[in-house]
């Protein structure tokens, strides 16, 4: 309950309020898309293709005559679920790896650190494209690719937190009392290291939405007719002179969502006063 | 200082070896046999065997690696299978374009990012701070391919200031540099701003204020200088990012470069080219890290001591 | 690292000269954008290359050229004759022709050239030729293994450009990559794969065919071909004057360009055909009724009218309208018939549920529909997905990269339906895509049928004259249509666009696509 109360506090700052409204809107769209969307997202009406925004189609129609607004609402579901799932996997895996590296140290730590430092310096888009070439295209592949692309970031961050905590007296005391490694890691280290990782994860979700859109622009990711903001923009570029709204609205949806995530993340960082702990990323 | 540099360089050797193994193996994980793509339709098994032998794919994997590594250190990156020319030639054709784009984008994001970040920190919590940071946030939250298209529409089509695409004139660099650079500006500005605000709270800054040193002198002379450490770290770690992260931008602006070469060859399963590109990017990343370490050591003697 | 460092330096110098030379554009410089489907051609080696772009026809001359009306006109060959039984061809060669490297072109060149095709992917071009005999310096005689009325058609393709034997043998594998030597109206100056090719005029050229007003040299002094993968970027380059001509205009941009002052957009009959191959060995399409139903579900008129604004034509056979072999019996044409499709599915035991989806013995009718990345393919595929759904077939789309999609077909296991297109102007494309000898790819339909093989072999090797060949191929084509191994979709038009102020392009294009014969006549204003 206290966490919710805290979020409510953040949402009452000016920055927090604006971004929270946008985020809640996007999340509601994603959760209740089938009920909120005015039309079926896959129903084509070819004679009514490329209609500009009007009273019946508030955002106009795309090259198949499908209602753009319905597709954007459903697209929120694709974009958010891909980004959140991918980052979720990444956070869990990164925390496990980072905690183990930071806790056990030694050769394991050195190997993990070397690999993580190297991949961290490679652009996520390249890592994702490389992985997609190996595991194939499709929504699941995109999720795995994004998860691995961001793995380094969370591993690094968790490791730094755990390293700092490990030397604290109470942790040493627990170890000396004969507590098991798992007990120390899961009961003492991770709970204390989790806040910055969660916030970093939230910020990374914004980047992941852009990454998913970029992959969609290259024609990878969600397969038609499943709407994805990136894929919508990709097919929209060909229509840019005939029907600019096809590329305008999904672009705006991405920008708004990502800005909201960033602003809310910033507000959280300030409220939690964890900027120093996030310095590593 | 020289000793420090040499030590750091020596430390890179095992890292380079590890990277070379990873790159070599990674490429072999990609499904699909490149021989199948180049074998003519209706080829006999002996034609296939001849091709396999020609590319050395019939050797044990360790032999393949040793041969590859041996040639690689001599600058021979092998022959492209689909593009039918030495990989080194392909890289030589593309790398200068990547370097030009990458270094200018890096320069742009450094100069503009530090300026904007510093000003925002100095005028912290004013409308100026919020305005600059919001603008920068906007620039970094728009997907780069979309930003590139918007730039083309505005500066190349409507205003006619720059060419739409290609790499034939120096002016063709402007829009891609801006597109990539804006993402970097956001990062650098945020790091600069936060670092400066952080340093401004330190005791020695308080003392300078108490001594009556002028505010601008403190901010620009002491605070900014001390705030450069994290900025340098971030920038040095992002060199590879800027070189390779231009994939979408290179595509929209129809430019040559390592990123686009890597994507094309990845799609065509042209193993040797993929290996060559990844290797170049890895080298750039390592050099960037090295440069960052050296710069940091120059700025902070404690790091030099730590190496001993 | 030394050789590599030097190459790198050379690359840097090269790119800095680009920067300088870019500013020094002179009047007779022309820049064009290659057709989208030719982007990424890795080589200018006509003998071994499988993907060649139009610049190849400017570097190399061919023996004969084909007019838009399918008639043949000599270029390196001035006249030719064939015996009654089709077993001997005699070609007289154009005198006084030299290669860009100064080597003479003569009968010895042809005797060297024809056997070079053996063992390459283009071997079928010369497969019927048993031997080449030098009659005199400018006369060659081909003795055939079997009559091949298609010989002239092959000779008119881009693959049959004649390279300089000396340069070809000397350069080995790098021929066509680092250099290319032919007798054509332009010489290769530089080639950056995937980016651009710069050609300079061959000032000594006089071999223009009857299809060009200008016999040589060309009016354009320096010709740059750029490769731009993104359609909107290419269009914007033309609009802003960055390039003078687009050799292909995507359907989406045609209207916008026509409205643009200062641009001329021309359309000409297409050579391309979109179709949906059906894998005949994977259930449910091993049942011919289900194949027929899928083919009848494709609403070609809807695609023509709504995706292409009525420009182009519906496809109802496997061949384009320009080919005589495409004139099949009307009842064999495959046309949209949703009720027929539903009835066939009912007959085959696939029962429709209340929501329209079908199933048989508890198995839902869900099939894979592959397509390649690219706006046009994705768009047609999404419409076909909806059209199949309308008769109760649920199709799941997979978008694959064009460079790797053929490798996936070669695995011969997974694919069911796909949206593909080919661009070719000869009925032997039927042999390429449906021969039982090439299962997986190119025979994506995985079709083996004894009766079909008999008809195919007769068409390929059993015709003495062109007319006989037409009859045989029509018979083979008709049989293919009865088996529903594919569904025809659409025939696009070709179009090109240029800046009216910069160029004057002949109004009549005397070839089946814009090639060397037209380039000779293009004038710079």
Report how far residue A273's alpha carbon sits from residue A10's, in angstroms, rounded to the nearest whole number: 12
Report how far residue B159's alpha carbon sits from residue B155's, in angstroms, rounded to the nearest whole number: 5
Whether the CB-CB separation of A178 and A138 falls below 8 Å is answered with no
Whether the CB-CB separation of C423 and C431 falls below 8 Å is answered with no
Residues 6+ positions from B154 with CB-CB distance below 8 Å: none
∠ CA C207-C211-C213, nearest 5°, is 75
Residue C524 phi, psi (nearest 5): -95, 130
Report how far residue B30's alpha carbon sits from residue B34's, in angstroms, rounded to the nearest whole number: 10
Whether the CB-CB separation of C344 and C334 falls below 8 Å is answered with no
Decide if B31 touches C, using CB distance below 8 A.
no
Q: Smallest Cβ distance to A122: which of B141, B263, B285?
A: B285
pLDDT in tens, B90-109: 999 888 888 889 889 989 98
Three-state DSSP class for A204? helix
Q: What pLDDT was estimated at residue C401?
A: 78
DSSP labels, C218-264: -S-SEEEEE----HHHHHHHHHTTS-SEES---HHHHHHHHHSTTEE
Q: Give the chain C residue whose CA is nearest to the CA of B257.
A: C195
Report how far residue B5's alpha carbon sits from residue A188's, in angstroms, rounded to the nearest whole number: 40
Q: How far is CA C412 from the centre of its chain?
A: 24
In angstroms, what CA-CA distances link A208 with A7, A88, B228, C412?
22, 11, 28, 36
Q: How far is CA C72 from the centre of its chain?
A: 19
- CA distance to partner chain B, nearest, from residue A187 (Å): 32
pLDDT band at C351 (very low <50, low <70, confident <90, very high): very high
Q: What is the ipTM of this complex?
A: 0.80
Nearest to C342, CA basis, from C363, C362, C356, C360: C356
Q: What pLDDT was estimated at residue C303?
A: 95
DSSP labels, B75-115: T---B-SSS-SBHHHHHHHHHHHHHHHHHHHHHHHHHHHHH
Decide if A83 touches B, using CB distance below 8 A.
no
Report how far residue C28's alpha carbon sits from residue B94's, in angstroms, rounded to the nearest whole number: 28
pLDDT band at B194 (very low <50, low <70, confident <90, very high): confident
Q: Are strands C523-524 and C72-74 parallel, antiparallel or unpaired?
A: unpaired
Neighboring chains of A (3 or more beta-carbon pairs < 8 A): B, C
Nearest to A141, CA basis, from A97, A74, A86: A86
- Residue B109 gets the label, from left (phi > 0), alpha (psi -120 to 50) or beta, of alpha
Q: What pLDDT was estimated at residue C33?
A: 95
Size of interface A-C (CB pairs under 8 A): 64
pLDDT in tens, A5-29: 777 777 777 778 888 999 999 999 9
In this predicted model, which residue has the larger pLDDT, B263 or C158? C158
Report how far residue C277's alpha carbon sits from residue C297's, in angstroms, rounded to the nearest whole number: 14
Which position has the token pair 């599915």? Answer: C345
HSE-up of C213 (CA within 13 Å, CB side)?
A: 11
Provide the token pair at A223. Answer: 């397969």
Mean pLDDT over A142-158 rounds to 88
- Share of residues in chain C with pLDDT > 70 (%): 94
Q: What pLDDT was estimated at residue C204?
A: 95
Neighboring chain C residues of A239 at a CB cutoff of 8 Å: 252
Three-state DSSP class for C123? helix
CB atoms within 10 A of CB C3: 12
Report how far residue C322's alpha carbon sits from residue B117's, in angstroms, rounded to the nearest whole number: 65
pLDDT in tens, B240-288: 667 666 778 888 888 888 888 887 887 777 888 888 888 888 888 788 8
As a whole number, the mean pLDDT across chain C is 90
Decide if A238 touches B, using CB distance below 8 A.
no
Report how far residue C505's alpha carbon sits from residue C284's, in angstroms, rounded to the nearest whole number: 51
Report how far residue C144's alpha carbon sits from residue C521's, in angstroms, rounded to the nearest whole number: 36
Q: How far is CA B97 from the centre of its chain?
A: 13
Residue C421 phi, psi (nearest 5): -140, 155
Residues 6+ positions from B285 with CB-CB distance below 8 Å: A118, A121, A122, B239, B240
Mean pLDDT over C379-406 rounds to 90
Q: From the candidates C13, C16, C17, C18, which should be mutated to test the interface with B, based on the most B CB atoms within 10 A?
A: C18
Q: From the candidates B96, B150, B253, B258, which should be mutated to test the interface with C, based on the most C CB atoms within 10 A?
A: B96
Task: Among A151-155, B242-246, B303-307, C133-137, name the most confident range.
Answer: C133-137
Q: From the candidates B19, B120, B139, B141, which should be mutated to test the interface with A, based on the most A CB atoms within 10 A?
A: B141
pLDDT in tens, C412-444: 767 899 999 999 889 999 999 999 988 888 899
- CA distance to partner chain B, nearest, from residue A219 (Å): 12
Report how far residue B287's alpha carbon sits from residue B240's, in angstroms, rounded to the nearest whole number: 9
Whether the CB-CB separation of C47 and C154 falls below 8 Å is answered with no
Nearest to C403, CA basis, from C121, C55, C41, C120: C41
User: Does A223 contact C230 at a Cβ distance shorter than 8 Å?
Assistant: no
Ranges A24-33, B120-129, C452-461: which has the least confidence: B120-129
Report how far residue B51's alpha carbon sits from residue B97's, in angstroms, rounded to the nearest whole number: 33
User: Does C11 contact B160 at a Cβ distance shorter than 8 Å?
Assistant: no
Q: Give the chain A residue whose CA is nearest to the CA of B283.
A: A118
Residues 6+ positions from B210 with CB-CB distance below 8 Å: none
pLDDT band at C75 (very low <50, low <70, confident <90, very high): very high
User: How big is chain A, counted in residues?
Assistant: 281
Report how far residue A24's alpha carbon sits from residue A136's, in angstroms, rounded to the nearest whole number: 33
User: How big is chain B, counted in residues?
Assistant: 308
In angstroms, the first-to-last Cα distance of chain C is 49
């Amino acid at each position: 309950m206290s966490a919710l109360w805290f979020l409510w506090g953040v949402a009452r700052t000016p920055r927090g309020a604006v971004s929270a409204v946008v985020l809640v809107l996007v999340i509601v769209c994603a959760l209740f898309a089938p009920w909120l969307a005015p039309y079926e997202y896959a129903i084509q009406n070819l004679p009514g293709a490329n209609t500009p925004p009007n009273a019946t189609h508030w955002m106009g129609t795309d090259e198949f005559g499908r209602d753009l607004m319905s597709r954007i609402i459903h697209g929120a579901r694709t974009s958010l679920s891909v980004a959140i799932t991918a980052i979720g996997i990444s956070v869990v895996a990164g925390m496990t790896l980072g905690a183990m590296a930071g806790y056990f140290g030694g050769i394991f730590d050195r190997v993990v650190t070397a690999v993580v430092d190297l991949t961290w310096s490679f652009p996520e888009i390249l890592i994702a494209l490389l992985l997609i070439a190996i595991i194939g295209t499709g929504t699941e592949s995109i999720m795995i690719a994004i998860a691995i692309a961001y793995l380094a970031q969370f591993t690094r961050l968790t490791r730094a937190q755990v390293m700092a905590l490990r030397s604290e007296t109470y942790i040493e005391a627990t170890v000396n009392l004969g507590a098991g490694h798992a007990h120390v890691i899961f009961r003492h280290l991770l709970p204390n290291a989790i806040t910055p990782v969660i916030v970093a994860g939230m910020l990374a979700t914004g980047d992941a939405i852009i990454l998913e859109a970029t992959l969609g622009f290259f024609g990878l990711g969600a397969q038609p007719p499943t709407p994805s903001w990136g894929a919508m923009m990709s097919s929209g570029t060909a229509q840019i002179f005939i029907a600019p709204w096809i590329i305008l609205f999904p672009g705006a949806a991405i920008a708004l969502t990502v800005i909201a995530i960033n602003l809310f993340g910033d507000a959280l960082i300030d409220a939690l006063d964890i900027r120093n702990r996030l310095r590593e990323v | 200082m020289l000793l420090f540099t040499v030590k750091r360089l020596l430390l890179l050797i095992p890292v380079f070896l590890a990277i070379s193994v990873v790159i070599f193996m990674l490429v072999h994980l990609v499904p699909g046999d490149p021989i199948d793509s180049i074998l003519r339709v209706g080829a006999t098994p002996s034609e296939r065997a001849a091709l396999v032998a020609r590319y050395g794919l019939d050797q044990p994997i360790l032999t393949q690696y040793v041969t590859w590594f041996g040639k690689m250190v001599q600058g021979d990156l092998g022959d492209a299978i689909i593009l039918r020319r030495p990989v080194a030639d392909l890289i030589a054709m593309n790398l200068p374009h990547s370097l030009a784009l990458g270094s200018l984008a890096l320069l742009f994001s450094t100069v503009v990012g530090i300026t904007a970040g510093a000003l925002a920190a100095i005028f912290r919590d004013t409308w100026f701070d919020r305005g600059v940071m919001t603008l920068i946030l906007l620039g970094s939250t728009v997907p780069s391919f979309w930003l590139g298209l918007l730039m083309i529409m505005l500066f190349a089509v409507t205003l006619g200031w720059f060419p739409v695409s290609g790499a034939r004139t120096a002016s063709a660099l402007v829009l891609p540099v801006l597109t990539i650079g804006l993402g970097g500006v956001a990062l650098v500005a945020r790091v600069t701003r936060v670092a400066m605000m952080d340093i401004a709270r330190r005791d020695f800054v308080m003392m300078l204020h108490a001594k009556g040193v002028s505010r601008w002198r403190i901010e620009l002379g002491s605070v900014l200088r001390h705030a450069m450490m994290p900025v340098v770290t971030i920038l040095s770690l992002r060199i590879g990012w800027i070189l390779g992260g231009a994939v979408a931008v290179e595509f929209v602006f129809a430019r040559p470069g390592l990123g686009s070469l890597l994507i094309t060859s990845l799609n065509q399963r042209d193993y040797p080219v993929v290996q060559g590109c990844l290797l170049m990017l890895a080298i750039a990343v390592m050099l960037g890290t090295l440069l960052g370490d050296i710069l940091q050591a120059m700025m902070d003697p404690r790091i030099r001591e730590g190496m001993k | 690292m030394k050789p590599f460092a030097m190459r790198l330096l050379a690359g840097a110098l090269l790119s800095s000269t680009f920067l300088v030379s870019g500013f020094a554009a002179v009047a007779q410089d022309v820049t064009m954008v290659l057709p989208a489907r030719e982007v990424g051609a890795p080589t200018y080696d006509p003998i071994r290359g499988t993907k060649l772009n139009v610049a190849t026809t400017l570097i190399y001359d061919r023996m004969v050229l084909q007019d838009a009306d399918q008639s043949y006109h000599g270029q390196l060959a001035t006249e030719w004759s064939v015996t009654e039984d089709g077993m001997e061809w005699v070609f007289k060669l154009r005198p006084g022709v030299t290669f860009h490297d100064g080597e003479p072109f003569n009968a010895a060149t042809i005797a060297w050239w024809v056997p070079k095709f053996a063992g390459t992917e283009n071997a079928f071009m010369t497969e019927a030729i048993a031997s080449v005999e030098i009659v005199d310096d400018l006369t060659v005689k081909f003795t055939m293994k079997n009559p091949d009325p298609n010989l002239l058609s092959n000779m008119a393709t881009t693959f049959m450009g004649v390279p300089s034997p000396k340069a070809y043998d000397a350069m080995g594998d790098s021929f066509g990559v680092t250099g290319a030597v032919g007798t054509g109206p332009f010489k290769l100056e530089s080639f950056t794969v995937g980016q651009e090719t710069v050609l300079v005029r061959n000032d000594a050229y006089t071999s223009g065919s009857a299809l060009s007003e200008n016999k040589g040299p060309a009016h354009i002094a320096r010709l740059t071909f750029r490769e731009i993968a993104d359609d909107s970027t290419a269009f914007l380059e033309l609009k802003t004057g960055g390039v003078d001509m687009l050799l292909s205009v995507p359907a989406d941009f045609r209207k916008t360009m026509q409205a643009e002052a200062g641009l001329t957009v021309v359309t000409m009959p297409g050579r391309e055909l979109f179709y949906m191959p059906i894998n005949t060995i994977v259930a449910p399409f091993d049942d011919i009724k289900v194949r027929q139903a899928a083919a009848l579900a494709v609403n070609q008129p809807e695609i023509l009218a709504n995706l292409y604004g009525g420009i182009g034509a519906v496809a109802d056979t496997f061949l384009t309208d320009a080919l005589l072999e495409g004139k099949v019996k009307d009842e064999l044409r495959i046309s949209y018939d949703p009720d027929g499709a539903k009835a066939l599915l009912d007959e085959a035991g696939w029962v429709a549920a209340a929501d329209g989806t079908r199933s048989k013995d508890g198995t839902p009718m869900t099939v894979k529909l592959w397509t390649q990345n690219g706006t046009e393919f994705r768009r047609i595929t999404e419409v076909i997905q909806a059209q199949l759904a309308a008769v109760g077939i649920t199709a799941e789309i997979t978008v694959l990269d064009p460079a790797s999609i053929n490798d996936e077909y070669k695995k011969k296991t997974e694919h069911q339906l796909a949206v593909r297109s080919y661009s070719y102007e000869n009925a032997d494309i039927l042999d390429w895509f449906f021969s039982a000898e090439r299962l997986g790819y190119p025979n994506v339909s995985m079709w083996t049928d004894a009766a079909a093989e008999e008809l195919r072999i007769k068409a390929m090797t059993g015709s003495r004259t062109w007319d006989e060949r037409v009859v045989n191929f029509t018979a083979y084509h008709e049989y293919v249509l009865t088996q529903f191994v594919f569904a025809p979709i659409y025939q696009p038009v070709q179009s090109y666009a240029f800046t009216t102020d910069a160029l004057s392009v002949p109004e009549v294009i005397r070839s089946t696509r814009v090639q060397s014969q037209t380039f000779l006549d293009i004038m710079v204003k």
